[in-house]
Structure formats: structure tokens, C-alpha cells
């Protein structure tokens, strides 16, 4: 038995996928946030990272559409400009703070350059500390590549086992684990190949979660959508993506899981919203269909801000607009015409 309460974790998981809301992934590692700042010719200093993230978190009204935010280790320890720790800034708005706890990917031994996610050593102690800093949920990302010969069973099994170890530790320490097996959509593969790889990956993931006795009511799944590879000449339509994604998940995601929170994975912000909307229009599903977007929520805000202190409000307007449209997509009420109302 976990020494934390199951009903509390289940309530947190359900709050993260409340009607009309989803998660902002703002947990870019130091290397990734530097790349994002490079794109707007802004230096990635600790203070710029804080200003940027504080801008997003304090956006007036964003809590109408944002249920939780995934933070990076640096951010959960930072204070806003008024001296209040950023996790408390979120809590005051009714937004649940979360934390990325994996330590990134390394080459999987004896593989054709496949990846394994690290970070299990010492994880229990880190979870205890993050919980004391305000985190109520966590994220761990496995990265899976698709080619004619990948992913291998060895890659899927080792990553699934690590995800389940992480998830079991989170529940035991009172954090809702977001279980993220991300199949990269880079490549020329068809949507059929993407479907098969996603189905096989999730089969391994839920097998390992079962073996390690993880209570599925207390987790969220963060997967890729079933898309055509980005370099595939034949690109599936929005409707096909929605239908194939839901068809795939019906096969392999137990109904006990409260919600599926998709990553955007390099889709344009408008495509990510349109896909989410089309899935929510299908209806009659056992899980909430929501978002945990990084790039697809942040891209317009990052550009509008441009690293300039006098553009914070413009950044917030752009973030609010994107969050609102994804909120509409949660109800299946998004219309591309809404893009112009910015």
C-alpha cells in the first residue's frame, strides 16, 4: 500500500483533465529552452527564462483553460518578480504545479542508436523534495523512433519498464505520474506504420504498468497522435488522424485511465488544435481527450514576446488566445475561423 491516498491522486488526475482544460508543458531542459530562445535572438540566461515563464503563468484568465503546468527543476525553485515562488503563483490561480523528473535520453546498448530514458537512481528522494516544493504531478518521457526496422522490442520493453518504475514511485510518493511514451513523427513512414508502432508501444507500456501494479486510475497517459511521418508524401487529413488515433487507443488504453493528454510533437499550433478538436467530436469515449502541449501552446507567445520586457502583454495575449482555442477543442467546438479573432 502507498502511504499516500489513492482518492487524492485520482482527484488530481481528474482535475488535470477537467472539462475545457489541459496542461501547459513548460519543462524544457536547459538545452531545449536555449534552442527556443535562439529562434528569437534572446540569450538564455536564468533571468530571461524566469521572465518568460512568469509571463506565461501570470497570463490573466489562462486558468480558464490551463489546469496544470509542467515545470523544469530550475523553475520550481524560482521566485516571480514579487518574490513569490513560481509554484505558489500557479497554485494561487488554481493551476496545479507539476515537474519533469526524467534526466533525458542516452543510447540504448546493443541497439541501432535507439534511446533509453535515464533518471531512476535517487528518484524517490527527488519526488519527496519536489512534492515539498508544491508539485502534485510528474512527467517522464520515453523517446521512440520509427524506421523500417525500429522500434525494436528491446527498446520498447526497457522504456516501458522504466516508465512503470517511475510511475510506481510517483504514486507511492503522492504524485500523479504522466506516462509519456513519445513516438517521434520525423521520417517518411505512413500513418499505417505510425498506427502499428503506437499500438505496439502502448501494449508494452500497459503490460509493464500492470506488472508493477500501478493503479491506472491515478495516472495520465501522454502519447503522440497517430500521424503520417512528417516527410511522408501522403499526409493524412485531420479527420483521418482523429479516427486512426482513437481507433488505436481503443485497442490498448484501459478505460480506467482518466485521461489522455496529447503532446504536440512538432505539429503546427493550428494542426495540434484541429486534431484535438476532431477527436473530441467523436464522443462516447471512456477517457478525457486533452492536451499537454509545449510548442503548440508556446510558439505564438514566444514570438510575440521576442525577449523584450515591453512585449510581455503581447506575449500573454498570444498565449491566452492559443489556450482558449485548445479549450474550445476540448469541447469539440473549435473552428479555424476563430484563429483570426486574435
Give the nearer residue to ligand 13P in terms of CB position, either 252 or 296: 296
Q: Which of 307, 293, 215 shows the shortest CA–CA distance to 8?
A: 215
278 touches 241 (CB < 8 A): yes
Give the nearer residue to ligand 13P in terms of CB position, either 134 or 294: 294
In the bound complex, what is the minimum distance in angstroms from residue 293's beta carbon to ligand 13P?
4
3-state secondary structure of 288: strand
191 touches 241 (CB < 8 A): yes
Check if 340 is active-site.
no
Give the active site residue among 100, 139, 222, 324: 222
Check if 180 is active-site.
yes
CA dist 143 to 107, 161, 198, Å? 11, 13, 12
In the bound complex, what is the minimum distance in angstroms from residue 143's beta carbon to ligand 13P?
9
- Give dist(CA 289, CA 271) in Å, integer: 16
143 touches 182 (CB < 8 A): yes
Handedness of CA 98, 99, 100, 102 (dihedral sign): negative
- Closest residue to ligand 13P: CB criterion: 294
CA dist 17 to 86, 96, 258, Å? 22, 11, 8
- Residue ranges that bind ligand 13P, judged by CB under 6 A: 25, 141, 180, 263-265, 293-296
Give the nearer residue to ligand 13P in terms of CB position, either 174 or 294: 294
Q: What are phi and psi of 229, to 5 degrees?
A: -50, 145
Give the nearer residue to ligand 13P in terms of CB position, either 226 or 263: 263
13 touches 258 (CB < 8 A): yes
Give the nearer residue to ligand 13P in terms of CB position, either 25 or 123: 25
In the bound complex, what is the minimum distance in angstroms from residue 125's beta carbon to ligand 13P?
23
CA dist 124 to 30, 70, 128, 174, Å? 23, 18, 6, 11
Give the active site residue among 180, 211, 324, 340: 180
In the bound complex, what is the minimum distance in angstroms from residue 22's beta carbon to ligand 13P?
11
In the bound complex, what is the minimum distance in angstroms from residue 142's beta carbon to ligand 13P?
10
> Which residue numbers are catalytic?
180, 222
Amino acid at each position: 500500500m502507498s502511504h499516500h491516498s489513492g482518492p487524492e491522486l485520482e482527484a488530481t488526475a481528474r482535475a488535470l483533465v477537467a472539462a475545457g482544460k489541459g496542461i501547459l508543458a513548460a519543462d524544457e531542459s536547459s538545452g531545449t529552452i536555449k534552442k527556443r530562445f535562439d529562434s528569437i535572438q534572446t540569450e538564455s540566461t536564468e533571468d530571461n527564462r524566469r521572465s518568460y515563464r512568469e509571463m506565461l503563468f501570470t497570463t490573466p484568465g489562462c486558468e480558464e483553460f490551463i489546469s496544470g503546468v509542467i515545470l523544469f527543476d530550475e523553475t520550481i525553485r524560482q521566485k516571480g518578480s514579487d518574490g513569490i515562488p513560481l509554484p505558489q503563483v500557479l497554485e494561487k490561480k488554481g493551476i496545479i504545479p507539476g515537474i519533469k523528473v526524467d534526466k533525458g535520453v542516452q543510447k540504448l546498448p546493443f541497439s541501432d542508436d535507439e534511446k533509453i530514458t535515464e533518471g531512476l537512481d535517487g528518484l524517490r528522494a527527488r519526488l519527496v523534495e519536489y512534492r515539498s516544493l508544491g508539485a502534485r504531478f510528474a512527467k517522464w518521457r520515453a523517446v521512440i523512433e520509427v524506421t523500417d526496422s525500429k522500434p525494436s522490442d528491446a527498446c520498447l520493453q526497457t522504456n516501458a519498464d522504466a516508465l512503470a518504475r517511475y510511475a510506481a514511485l510517483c504514486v507511492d510518493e503522492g504524485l500523479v505520474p504522466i506516462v509519456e511514451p513519445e513516438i517521434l513523427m520525423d521520417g517518411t513512414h505512413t500513418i499505417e506504420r505510425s498506427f502499428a508502432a503506437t499500438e505496439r508501444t502502448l501494449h508494452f507500456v500497459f503490460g509493464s504498468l500492470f506488472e508493477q501494479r500501478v493503479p491506472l486510475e491515478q495516472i495520465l497517459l501522454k502519447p503522440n497522435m497517430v500521424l503520417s511521418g512528417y516527410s511522408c508524401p501522403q499526409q493524412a487529413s485531420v479527420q483521418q488522424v482523429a479516427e486512426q488515433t482513437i481507433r488505436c487507443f481503443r485497442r490498448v488504453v484501459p478505460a480506467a485511465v482518466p485521461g489522455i493528454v496529447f503532446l504536440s510533437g512538432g505539429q503546427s499550433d493550428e494542426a495540434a488544435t484541429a486534431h484535438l478538436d476532431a477527436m473530441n467530436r467523436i464522443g462516447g469515449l471512456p477517457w478525457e481527450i486533452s492536451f499537454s502541449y509545449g510548442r503548440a501552446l508556446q510558439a505564438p507567445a514566444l514570438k510575440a514576446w521576442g525577449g523584450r520586457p515591453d512585449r510581455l502583454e503581447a506575449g500573454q495575449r498570444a498565449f491566452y488566445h492559443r489556450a482558449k482555442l485548445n479549450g474550445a477543442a476540448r469541447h469539440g467546438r473549435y473552428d479555424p475561423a476563430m484563429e483570426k479573432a486574435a
